[in-house]
Amino acid sequence: MGRQLGVDRLFLVEDAYTLTLLEAKHSFVQQLIQEINDGALTEMRNDQRIWKIAHPELALLGSEMEKGHEKTDDTAQQEQ
């Protein structure tokens, strides 16, 4: 639209870049939704869709990881 109004391309580069990023994000989200729905990332268990986890030992929750760090911090403080 800007080009049709005579705006130099130099001043439209940022908008073109933004549009390209939005299109890439949209494409990524569409692909992710497809993978969730087709079972590539999820599975049905007890009538609920859950994430497939190939390596459960690597799937610690953030809170579990923080607890491990807190223990390390507490231990360091007790030693001082």
Query: Would the pLDDT of 66 be above 80?
Result: no
Question: Measuring CA to CA, how many Å separate 29 from each of 41, 53, 76?
Answer: 13, 20, 43
Is-contact 26 17, C-beta < 8 A?
A: no
Tell me the whole-structure pTM to 2 decimals: 0.56
Of the two residues 69 and 14, the one the predictor is more confident about is 14
Taking only the tens place, the pLDDT of each residue in 12-57 is 999 999 999 999 999 999 999 999 999 898 888 899 988 888 888 8
Backbone phi, psi, residue 42, to 5°:
-135, 165
